[in-house]
Structure 1
């Protein structure tokens, strides 16, 4: 038997799915096995690495084509539930992919920021130019949002691992959401970070080109974006994960107490209710009609959940530090990803970024007045 693509052929052990003799067709007939590289007596197991794959990225991990020829492997768990057990591993791997992609987004932002601040053109550093501020801010907003939902999902994973049934249901839908959106977005962030550095970013002396190459695998391993989007819909329809997803979001918004934060929560609640309604409508469809809007729904669900987490963090920051930076980020996130179509007006909807850019990227304090001005513009956009 030949496995065309083994992710890490140099590993000491590998988890593999195989169909035992007499087992039924399909995923129900697959068992999970642990296959060691070396047997207990120290001899090599009987499989052969035919060749390594000449990959686009992640070249520091050897992937290859393997032939199994009488290899010894040990049954893991119930042999009739191999695929289900493997999907549990996939949950962990999808979260790992999101962590990895979030880290690359952060690295790309930092590389771009340091480069832009150190390069002078037309009498000032590039980081002082309005369009570069916009580029850097968008990179920061994306990686900060990704970190927020990734860390939250990690906490849900811990609770699920301890047997919390509610957390298991929430994890079922959060992991494909993270995998589907963050890993895809990392490809954009790393490319933008490379461009922000200019010609130097395209030279192998810097890390940008490696980040671009390595970012692409995140949206391919453990299911491409299309597959993951369909898995989100499957979680809604088959596992009824939508109710627990939206309840978690609404409970977080209900717990908000700060008067300014509550105004923003009201906007986000309206948007979230609309997305929930859209999810029910998609679930009522069948066949190709249900599949067609899957990616759009996945992205919207990611954005509303992430925005609710940012809003919760904003309230904590206001209470502890009297700092409105995170609330500013939340408003920008809501407008950019949930309200603006990009054609609302001929002018940039809010120019406050030009004044508070350094405070934002240096994680310094942002005033309440700055947020109130931004909130007024967002309210006009949503017509509240």
Structure 2
């Protein structure tokens, strides 16, 4: 689970999915079957044989086309904050991956991650917006609207392939990997065919490609004529402790720290720490949405300061008793889309804007 500090390499599968090697070619026929299943499912929804649930408020879906960590949740947080600043009353719905129940749950800032899911809990804490999770997003949406009559726009986190909830705006988020080798799972990274045909059902409306602020700008993904925008991601200049203490990130430079990341691409977080001048003595890469027990194993023993993502903090900080000698900090991730992206969102939602 732990490894020495140094340059962290992408996983073998992720490297393979960037090329069309022998194993990719062997798996390619399976990806054709996957493509067929996607097409059938979309046709069932587009034809009305499977129900699409429509709501009385606009729904903005944020999702990704490639597997793992493209930046959906940071985009959702940035979007919710933008909407509120511009007079909307946003709410957020999600499936809540990694939680231990499928029931509808209203997420509060102190809801356990096992009930809320780590990403919905993070969104709630970062935005203060009402958040509701359920196995069926339409159920979460109706429950949220029933409990919060002031909500006039819903943002669906990680819902691009969830077709049962009607949407007025769909945003596909990409990162520096682009579309990988251009093939579908399991031969490549793609969850759905890309680029989409111009007349295809459930085609996204806007594309947002994010990349590290301190890294070269990646090549633009194929857009199929869709509006494309850029966003930069960076670590915040401050860190947050279990009791909401705030300290400059630079204070950890030269300290013996253990870096922890239970996200889709842990190496990205570790590399960003090093770019910020933080050199961990060890790195712990946990599975995405790791169980709380995985974080419990980090406590005790050699008391290095722990530095983690805010997503990890939803589970790790809850394990620290008051007065614990273990020092732990979370560093927020900031996603900064270009202004034209928010202008495009505003234009798409203008017709739904309630009279003030």
Q: TM-score range by the shorter chain?
A: under 0.3
TM-score (norm 2): 0.27
Q: Which has the higher contact order (CA 8 A, sep 6+)?
A: 2
Q: Which has the larger strand fraction?
A: 2
TM-score (norm 1): 0.25
Which structure has the larger Rg?
Answer: 1
